[in-house]
Structures are given as structure tokens and as C-alpha cells.
Amino acid sequence: MKKVRLEIVGLSYSQTQSGAYALVLGESSGSRRLPIIIGGFEAQAIAIELEKMSPSRPLTHDLFKAFAQTFDISINEVLIYNLVEGIFYAKLLCSNGDRDVEIDARTSDAIALAVRFNCQIFTYEFILKSAGIVLDDDVESTALNETVAGPASGVEKGEHRSSETDEYKDKSSEELKNMLQIALDEEKYEMASKIRDELNQRKKS
């Protein structure tokens, strides 16, 4: 069965499910996109790693990585292998050097681990044909501009900034960097995401 390599294209609020997030995966050598609805915790875990943020204490996926590496276990590949009634199924292809094992996992957890182990993500052609979409140039540009919108960042097209986010606009970049580090140390990841987004907006300006 033909496998297709995927890359993370974007992560943003879901427009269809309140409190959920849309993880968009795209085929490496094509224009099709695979949107997957995931929970807030998993979205946060993916965004934190992609943004290279450093939590003061390890998150669950960081603990899994440390545990696996301690016992010389690596994740070589993540495979989204099935789609049943709108639910994606994934597995981790793991190895300790002597033995290869496949472990079933929720797709969101599998992706969160893939970014930590820097391993490739694949799916089958029939899944892309069934659930994949092709974005035109305008939509693709918007998706890329909204990539990795962290949990509760609240800055998407057509959405108003919260008053809390507006307060950050009055701070200097140096003050925001200090506030970001404090938020990470205190494990206030929602606040950290908002501060990070404000800093990212300034870099684009």
C-alpha cells in the first residue's frame, strides 16, 4: 500500500468545534492537505515543541521521550493508517535496535511525539483521497500565515484580540520576553502562547 509523507502545515482554532484545534498536515510533494481536529492539550504540546519553548517541568510527551531514550527506544516513524467514521488511527513504529514494535496511539499524541523525536509522518494514499483537501493559493497563504497558533492565542482572521492581549501591545519587547520566561516557569502556557504571538506579530511588522 502506497505511503505518502506528511508535514505539519498549520495549527489553529477549529472553526467547527468549540475548544478544539485544527491540525493541518500536508503531503510533502503535493498540494493536498489533511485537517485533523485535536484537543487543546495536544495542540499545546505540539505548539510548544514547534516553537522551541521550554516548560519549567516536563510535559507528558516530554516525559515519554525521556523515558524512551533512557531505555534506548526510538520512534522511527509515525503512520496514520486508517480512517473510520471520521476518526483517524495512528501508530508509532518503534525500535530498541534489536526489536521493532508498532504501538497504537491517538493521532494527536503520535504527532506530538513525532515533533519531539524528529521522525517522519506518513499516511496511506487512500486516506488522503478520502479526507484530503486541495487548497487554492489564497487559502494556502492564509493557512501558512496562521501556522502554529498556540492554544488560546486568540489571533485568527476575523477574531478580535482579547483585552488581555491588547495589554501586551503596550509592553516593550524586552518586557514581553521577561514575561514569557516567567509564564513558562510558572507553567502558565496559555499566557505564554499569547505573549509569544504578540512577539511574533512584532517580528512580522
- At 22-50, the pLDDT tens digits run 899 999 988 899 989 898 888 889 988 98
What's the domain range around 205? 153-205
pLDDT tens profile 111-130? 999 999 999 999 999 999 98
- With a cut of 80, say whether residue 152 has pLDDT above it: no
Q: If pLDDT is split at 50, 70 and 90, which confidence band does 55 have?
A: confident
The backbone region for 72, taken as left when phi is positive above 0, alpha when psi lies in -120 to 50, beta otherwise, is left
Q: Let me know whether 50 and 131 are in one domain.
A: yes
What was the pLDDT predicted at 110?
Answer: 97
Indicate the residue among 151, 178, 196 that finishes a domain: 151
User: Which of 46, 49, 172, 51 is CA-nearest to residue 112?
Assistant: 46
> Which contiguous run of DSSP H or E holds residue 77?
strand 74-84
Q: Is the pLDDT of residue 205 over 60?
A: yes
User: Same domain, yes or no, for 21 and 116?
Assistant: yes
